[in-house]
Amino acid sequence: MSVRRVATITVLAVLALAVPLSTTALSAPEPSGGGAAPLQPGPESAYRIEGLDTPTERTEVARQGVDVLGGGPDYLEVRATPEEADRLRAAGLELVALPLPALPALSREGDFPPGFEGYHNYDELAAELRTLAETFPDVVAVSSYGQSFENRTLPLVKISDTVRSDENEPEVLFSCAQHAREHLTVEMCLHIIQRLAEGYGTDPAITELVGSREVWVMPVTNPDGTEYDIASGAFAAWRKNRQPNPGVSPIGTDLNRNWGAQWNCCGGSGANPANETYHGAGPFSAPETAQIRDWVNSRVLDGTQQITAHIDFHTYSELVLWPFGFTTDDTAPGLDAADAATFRRLGEAMAATNGYAPQQSSDLYITDGTIGDWMWAEHRIWSFTFEMYPNSELQGGFYPPDTEIKRETERNDPAVDLLLDAADCVPCATLP
């Protein structure tokens, strides 16, 4: 590593300790009917920072309190206040401003704006799930695993050839939208349900998978946040849930930093409630994560966890990630060399089908308290995180138009099928 890079990392580490995280404009404005909310609220701007060639460099940038939008092997895209941007420049980094996408005109409050009508809001999703359950009653069952902070039902969908029986078959879980602004993931989970339901009995491969697996889908795990993100009729760039934090004004917890495995262990989440990666007051302090935990725990029957494999969908960056996120070491207590090799083998096989980049989660940057780390550490579930389309804010970032939904959800069909096929014995699965 060059002297300049060592100096940059050192300066960033010192700044992270010496300067409190900015609390400026990290809460989205309350929606009103007066006009379109800005895509990036307050005085924050989006930047691309290149030349970040190691996980350590990317981690130190993330620790400055910026909102990491996406990233890759040598860059991060971030949203930063002027103060945060000045700190990064003071460390010798070059910030290239990203132009903001043009916002559409305001549509009706509480719904997606023009050009995004193909996305499902919460009520539309619920209606579509009811329709699927009515149309395919022998294959699709819709229930709930709990309530969100604002008392929205957290939907749970089961797909199986004997959907009302609990068979002794491998179970696979797909979860979406822990982060509110990642609406494409809701469409991904809905697409999985639709494709498996419609394909059963007509597509031999799907019929075989549905007949030999029990598939569970949580299509929107943060409904309060997703609804808030579109409440004004535009986009609020909202990430967290909508749970108040006692004694302070910033609202919300980052659900994917609130999980109990290595919670707040390693500088991979925010301690300041204003931070976009705020990990919450304690492990599972958010009702949304606590209720997923309780449901997953309930799938331990006769001492055996029935769920063998899992994908948690996010946007954006086009990555396939696997545990652990809290350490850059390939192995750690509970994840030996054989396990790490299996994660890599299946992750690379799935990435070969969709063109994403495969890597251990911490190869991007350190995160702690994530769902994937908990799924593996607590239950040895082969858990992967997919960062979906696009690669950059320049391609729409968290808000690609609805014309991209069909292509980008279908893009993951082979990877989904590969995981389902491997679910009976992931370490011994025959992979392409």
Burial of 425 per CB tally in 10 Å (0-12, 13-18, 19+): exposed
Q: How far is 97 from 160, CA to CA, in rounded Å?
A: 48
Q: DSSP H helical segments within 275-336, as ranges?
A: 287-298
Q: Where are the beta strands (DSSP E) in 251-327?
A: 300-301, 304-305, 307-315, 319-322
Distance set, CA 179 to CA 183, 219, 242, 277, 288 (Å): 9, 12, 11, 10, 12
User: Which region holds residue 33: left if phi is over 0, alpha if psi is between -120 and 50, else beta?
Assistant: alpha
- Characterize the bridge pairing of strands 96-97 and 67-72: unpaired
Q: How far is 192 from 136, CA to CA, in rounded Å?
A: 14
Active site residue 44: no
Using DSSP's 3-state secondary structure scheme, residue 218 falls into: strand
Burial of 38 per CB tally in 10 Å (0-12, 13-18, 19+): middle
SS3 content of the chain, % helix, strand, coil (to 5): 35, 20, 45
Active site residue: 318, 387, 393, 404, which one? 387
Tokens read off for 133 = 């359950």
Rg (CA), the chain: 21
Nearest by Cα to 213 from 174, 249, 180: 174
Q: In this structure, are residues 351 and 301 in contact, taking their beta carbons and an 8 Å threshold? A: no
Residue 194 per-residue DSSP state: H
Nearest by Cα to 183 from 399, 31, 410, 404: 399
Nearest by Cα to 158 from 146, 168, 148, 173: 173
Q: DSSP H helical segments within 159-222, as ranges?
A: 183-199, 204-212
Active centre residues (catalytic): 387
